Amino acid sequence: MTDQFNVVGQSERRVDGYALVTGKPVYAGDLDLPGMLHVAVLGSPHPHARIVDIDTSEAEELDGVAIVLTHQNTPATRYTTAGQGFPEPSPYDTRMFDTKVRFVGDRVAAVAAETIDIAREALSLIKVSYEPLHPVLSIDEALADRAPIIHDEDDASGIWDAEHNIAGAVEANVGDVDGALQTAYASVEFTGETQYAQHAPIEPHVSVAYLDDNGRLVLYTSTQVPFHVRRIMAQVLGIPVRQIRVIKPRIGGGFGVKQEVLIEDLVGLVTLRTGRPSRLELTRAEEFYASRTRHPMRVTVRLGAGADGMLQAIDMQALENTGAYGAHNLTVVSNTGSKTLPLYNKAPNVRFSGRGIYTNLPVGGAYRGYGATQGYFPLEVAMDMLAEQLGMDAVELRRKNHIRVGETSPIFEELGEGRKGVPQTLGSSSLDQCINIGAERIGWADKRGKRHREGPWVHGVGMSIHMQGSGIPAIDMAAATIKLNDDGSINLLIGATDLGTGSDTVLGQIAAEVLGVGLSEVIVLSSDTDVTPFDTGAYASSTTYVSGNAVRRAAEAVKNQIFDVASAMLKTDPESLHLEDGRAIADDGRSVTLSEVALRSLYGADQFQIGATASFVGDVSPPPFLASFAEVRIDVETGKLEIVNYVAAADCGTAINPRLAEGQVEGAIANGIGYALMEEMRFDKYGRMRNPDFGRYKIPASTDMPPLEVILVDSYEETGPMGAKSIAEIGINAPIPTLANAIYDAIGVRLTHPPFTSEKIWRALQNS
Amino acid sequence: MRFTVNDQVFDIDVDPGASLLDLLRRLGFYGVKNGCDNGDCGACAVLVDARSVTSCDYPARAAEGKRIVTVEGLAPSGSLHPLQAAFLDTGAVQCGFCTPGMLISAVELLEHNPDPSESEVREALRGNLCRCTGYTKPVEAIQLAAARMREVDHD
């Protein structure tokens, strides 16, 4: 399909690449302004306490301190830090500074000073008197009778059941699950419990604020959601949206943790109060425990099937630990069901229940995969168990049951993000080919169930399949503006937010394709709320599909304007024209360059600016698909696990830029392998994180990665720009179930609690 | 204290507690990144007398008399070092925050080993944490650059 395109389908260099590889100061933290104040935050030492008194007088007297902020002198508005569309589906349970602290590291005060060292010294001079409360450090403690109430404030809103520490709840039910499970020929049940983990972008959160010449507040910030930042800042600080300009420069990775308004309010208020520029950058430790995490979950899946392997019922029950605040809790736990259950659409009876539970631990947030990661683990392990019980090959069982083009699932409509979803029929999928290719490359037929041994090592292979979405249908909107310049170059202005994914490049390629020019003719500018049109931001795997469709539409509108001008110049019908190589070319071969068209429109006759703005909201959210296969070997004497080979075959429709698309899968699989084998935030009995640095919280290094083969298997999504769907999130869902199934194939043990460390494997071997 | 950064000589007073990272950023070498302030992530890697170090835990004072190279010094303005070009050609750059440190490690590697195996490249990048790429394409980029540089040397 992609051979019909010129720019789309090419692995173009990134449009921002030169600046990135030459070390240009392009990140928010590189902005060094004269007179800039440095902000440091005092975090709570208690997991759960009331603030009885704060005395900041000594801190304020310290030489070089400009301002100290606490609950005593800041707005009391309740809001959510979740950077979501308005009105947000997350509870308003957060204050800039509260009179109660709910996890170790929760905000107590902030100091702005001439240097960061002075600011930190001032923090140590703030005297806080706490009334400690009983901490709630697990889901079970939170749900116990007479558990302490974490959100007992009377001005919060949108909490499902504060009295029982339930932040959010969602249900969906199709058919009669209990009845079908009872009568099923085969049934299995598996509970998987995923752990606290952190995104660990190499750039921590950083924001710089200053007042422009007209007194407006300007923020350079490492965010995925500049327009949501602007709206939420206005809400929290009580100033009009028009007083705020948010610019996202290059950012050093997001993965969801920057879909949150975590520090912008502080630099904003410091700068408004002092009139001076200010800067706040989280330390690595703060990034770990005081920003956002993946919501840990306990998810139980029950499956029932006939003797032929056709699924009769799927039941999924999810309990989610949202930590001290409810940011994203409802939507993440909704996605645990909504992004997994439609994959097996053959089951006529499907039930889902999800609950977000408050605890006095760090706060969950958006994290690549967004709940689907937590759901796919038990679902795909249960599928393996079912295959074993039926005596059927695990790949074959999935082939029988997975969704195909032209089919639908009732779950699409029954379960959206914290509310009903939208009905959709699958328009594109190459999942079958992905499965075939993956099985072949890993050597499935030769290796599965064989337990090949070499010395103490025993081999196993495992697999899992996945879908995600492409944006939040009927909610998330993106817009793009395109205009033509004198020399035939094109400005592309997009609210969309490039986190490092390369979306500026991908969106530029879409515009270039429609307008018949090379990517070098497109000048891409993104993520400046004063300059670029609205976009909800980079989350929910939306940018290529949602923002890409907006770009395609804007480019089509500009193309028509070019045709109008060119047809007058060539004295021909607009219908006889097409764009190619920077020219408008008529059927008879005569042509004018885009520069000539632009010059005429700007200086010649009937002048106007050739340009257009277009918007897009998806009616559907076309899922990308992925088949994941791994071969592992386990040393049965020590429990050491090595991944011998990992293969991921993915369907993202048309890959607009194949290398960038592959890179998304490679990075997501790497992050997922870290989550499956290494990464876990550990806490002591006081709720303090015990490993808040890269020395103790290990993320995969180059030497930790196994051989990884990523294969893109094209399909063509008619509703997508040039046939494209999303790709960024899906890969992270795969390693936990794939490796759990491979471990079982090798040693016959079902592990329930990632990370699957050597110690856990060794213990399981001792007990088996 | 006197030292050179990218062949530019500096003769300045240095705060005794400052790290080389602080100093370099204060002098405007913003390509040197701070990812952890603890020597763990490698985003702040620079060459000190041709040896790569994490500048966040390297005392600024220890740089006296030394030749320092940062990512800004790899190629003259407007051009690219073969490693930088290969990073772009292979899609090895995503967010770019770890890229300067990776490039520094790669320069040091190719200086001693013009034809590194994949495992040698991985070993050289061990101290450079990257959360975006999974390392597949950076490793490919370094081997591609090495091949291109060998070709040029042969010509």
Which chain A residues are within 8 Å of B120, Cβ to Cβ?
Answer: none
Q: Which of residues 563-602 of A touch B (CB under 8 A)?
A: none
Tell me, yes or no, if A767 comes closer than 8 A to chain B by beta carbon: no
Mutation target among B38, B57, B97 for the A interface, most CBs of A within 10 A: B97
Q: Residue A254 and residue A199: Cα distance in Å, rounded?
A: 8
Q: How far is the alpha carbon of B78 from chain A, nearest alpha carbon, in Å?
A: 9
Residue in B132, B133, B137, B142 to test binding to A, most A beta-carbons within 10 Å = B132
Query: Residue B142 is encoded by which pair of tokens?
Result: 């370094």
User: How far from the centroid of its chain's Cα atoms is residue A498's Cα?
Assistant: 12
CB–CB contact B40 A670 (8 Å): no
| Nearest alpha-carbon partner for A30 in B99, B69, B97 | B97
Q: Which residue has the tokens 């389908």?
A: A9
Per-residue pLDDT tens over the stretch A288-341: 999 999 999 999 999 999 999 999 999 999 999 999 999 999 999 999 999 999
Q: Is A410 on the interface with B (CB under 8 A)?
A: no
pLDDT, residue A417, reads 84
Cβ contact (<8 Å) for B131 and A671? Answer: yes
Determine, for residues B138 and A204 on separate chains, whether the beta-carbon distance falls below 8 Å: no
C-alpha distance from B6 to closest chain A C-alpha (Å):
13
Which positions ≥6 away from A531 have C-beta within 8 Å?
A493, A525
Q: What is the pLDDT of residues A191-201, one digit of tens each?
A: 999 999 999 99
What is the pLDDT at residue B155? 67
Q: Which of residues 162-181 of A touch B (CB under 8 A)?
A: none
How far is it, in rounded angstroms, from Cα A739 to Cα A746?
10
CA distance readout (Å), A214 to A82, A218, A237, A275: 30, 11, 18, 12
* Interchain CB contact of A694 with B (< 8 Å): yes
Q: Is A643 on the interface with B (CB under 8 A)?
A: no
Of B38, B125, B133, the CB nearest to A284: B38
A176: Cβ contacts below 8 Å, ≥ 6 apart: A349
Which one, of A54, A90, A196, lies nearest residue A539 by Cα?
A90
* pLDDT (0 to 100) of residue A2: 55
Domains located in chain B, CATH noted: 2-73 (3.10.20.30), 82-154 (1.10.150.120)
Residue ranges of chain A that CATH labels 3.30.365.10:
2-25+477-617, 293-472+620-767
Tell me the CB-side half-sphere exposure of residue A446, using CA atoms within 13 A.
5
Alpha-carbon span A555 to A550, nearest angstrom = 9
**Which pLDDT score, from 0 to 100, does residue A1 have?**
52
Interface contact flag, B95 A24, Cβ < 8 Å: no
Cβ of B129 within 8 Å of Cβ of A500? The answer is no
Phi, psi of A504 (to 5 degrees): -60, -40
Average pLDDT along chain B: 97
Angle between helices A329-338 and A372-390 (to 10 degrees): 30
Please list the residue range(s) of chain A that carry CATH number 3.90.1170.50: 31-133+202-253+258-290
Q: What is the ipTM of this complex?
A: 0.98
pLDDT reported for residue A768: 84
3-state secondary structure of A431: helix
A251 to chain B, any CB pair closer than 8 A? The answer is yes
Residues of chain B with C-beta less than 8 angstroms from the C-beta of A206 = none
Nearest to A251 among B95, B131, B136 (CB): B95
CATH of A2-25+477-617, one of 3.40.50.300, 3.30.365.10, 3.30.70.260, 3.40.50.1000: 3.30.365.10
How does A598-622 read in b/e, with b if 16+ C-beta sit within 10 Å? bbbbeeeeeeeebbbbbbbbbebbb
List of chain A residues whose C-beta atoms are within 8 Å of the C-beta of residue B71: 21-23
Which residues of chain A neighbour B29 with C-beta distances below 8 Å? 23
Interface-testing mutation among A16, A21, A499, A662, with chain B (most B C-beta atoms within 10 A): A21
pLDDT at A418: 80
Minimal Cβ distance to B97: which of A17, A25, A252: A252
Residues from chain B that touch A708, judged by Cβ atoms under 8 A, are 134, 136
Q: Which stretches of chain A drop beneath a pLDDT of 70?
A: 1-3
What gap in Å lies between CA B102 and CA B94, rounded to an integer? 13
For chain B, say whether A139 makes contact (Cβ under 8 Å). Answer: no
Q: What is the CATH number of domain A31-133+202-253+258-290?
A: 3.90.1170.50
B139, A702: Cβ pair inside 8 Å? yes
A20 touching B (Cβ < 8 Å): yes
Three-point CA angle A315, A319, A321, nearest 5°: 155
CB A764, CB A749: distance < 8 Å: yes
A58 touches chain B (CB under 8 A): no
> Of the candidates B88, B131, B136, which has its C-beta nearest A253's C-beta?
B131
Phi-psi region of A722 (alpha: psi -120 to 50; beta: other; left: phi over 0): left
Question: DSSP 3-state assignment of A524?
Answer: strand
| Contact across the interface for A703 and B123, Cβ inside 8 Å | yes
Q: What pLDDT, in 10s, does the model give residues A50-92?
A: 999 999 999 999 999 999 999 999 999 999 999 999 999 999 9
Q: How far is A325 from chain B (nearest CA, A)?
A: 26
pTM of the entire structure?
0.98
Question: Among partner residues B97, B134, B139, which is closest to A669 by beta-carbon distance?
Answer: B134
| Token output for A177 | 């699950």
Q: Is A284 on the interface with B (CB under 8 A)?
A: yes
- A618: tokens are 């998806």
A34 vs B: CB within 8 A: no
A-B interface: how many C-beta pairs under 8 angstroms?
A: 173
What span, in angstroms and rounded, lies between the C-alpha atoms of A405 and A17?
Answer: 37
Please indicate if any CB of chain B lies within 8 Å of the CB of A250. yes
Mutate which of A12, A16, A22, A664 to test chain B, going by most B C-beta atoms within 10 A?
Answer: A22
Give B94's contacts in chain A (Cβ within 8 Å).
253, 500-502, 663, 667
Nearest to A69 by CA among A235, A229, A269: A269
Q: Own/partner pairs for A70-75, CB < 8 Å, 24+ apart?
A: A70/A97, A70/A108, A70/A109, A70/A110, A70/A126, A71/A95, A71/A96, A71/A97, A71/A98, A71/A99, A74/A269, A75/A236, A75/A237, A75/A238
**Contacts for A140 with CB less than 8 Å, ≥ 6 apart:** none
pLDDT the model gives residue A419: 83
Instruction: Please tell me which of the candidates B31, B38, B94 has its beta carbon nearest to residue A663.
Output: B94
Peptide bond into A755 cis (omega under 30): yes
Q: Which of A30, A499, A657 sits opposite B95 (nearest CB)?
A: A499
What is the domain class of A293-472+620-767 according to CATH?
Answer: alpha beta
